[in-house]
Amino acid sequence: MTRQARKRHHRGYTHIKKKYRTKRKTKDLDEIDEDLKPRNAERLLHQKIDFDKPGSAQHYCLHCARYFIDGSAMKEHFRSKTHKRRLKALELEPYTQKEAEAAAGMGSYQPPKKRVMVTQQATQQDVNMDEDKRDQT
């Protein structure tokens, strides 16, 4: 029998492992659920212009916590598989401490309720502006 070569995968180098672990970190479902509340949603959908973010932070998907460069890119995203998966995952209410205590025997357990998730509408004004820009070029 021959010896197999060991794959190291940066074993022992915690600073490298941590970099790869957090490189593509997105918001968790409970954080997005907090963003879906009307007050927070209004604030996120109508952000001030920020040139450091894609599309100057004017095109934001609440369910996926992503910025897009224009309204048509956001509209394409709404038809994508990743967006539909995220909507499906957000249908269940997030896990709470009260639910954890009930499951451990400190109360009566009730399963989480299902919610109806609907994709936010891309404003027609954004889509029309993007089409006008394309026509001019």
How do the domains of the chain map onto residue ranges?
Answer: 26-95+104-136
Q: Average pLDDT, whole number, for the chain?
A: 81
The answer to whether 119 and 83 have CB atoms below 8 angstroms apart is: yes
Report the alpha-carbon distance of residue 13 to residue 19 in Å, rounded: 10
Q: What is the pLDDT, as a whole number, of residue 72?
A: 92
Q: What is the pTM of this model?
A: 0.67
- Segment 111-121 shows an average pLDDT of 83
CB-neighbour burial class of residue 107 (10 A; exposed 0-12, middle 13-18, buried 19+) = exposed
pLDDT in tens, 91-108: 988 888 888 888 888 777
Of the pLDDT bands very low, low, confident and very high (cuts 50, 70, 90), residue 115 is confident
The pLDDT of residue 51? 93
pLDDT in tens, 77-87: 999 999 999 99
Closest-CA residue to 92 (of 39, 32, 43): 32
- What is the reported pLDDT for 105? 82
Q: Which is nearest to 127 in space by CA: 78, 65, 87? A: 78
Q: What are 17-56's pLDDT values in tens digits?
A: 677 776 677 888 889 999 999 999 999 999 999 999 999 9
The pair of three-digit structure tokens given for residue 2, joined into one six-digit string = 């021959």
Give the whole-angstrom CA distance, residue 75 versus residue 118. 14
64 close to 83: Cβ distance less than 8 angstroms: yes
Residue 7 has pLDDT above 80, yes or no: no
Which candidate, 119, 99, 122, places its Cα nearest to that of 111? 99
Query: pLDDT higher for 26 or 76?
Result: 76
Return the C-alpha torsion angle 133, 84, 119, 110, nearest 10: -160
Question: What percent of the chain shows pLDDT beyond 70?
Answer: 73
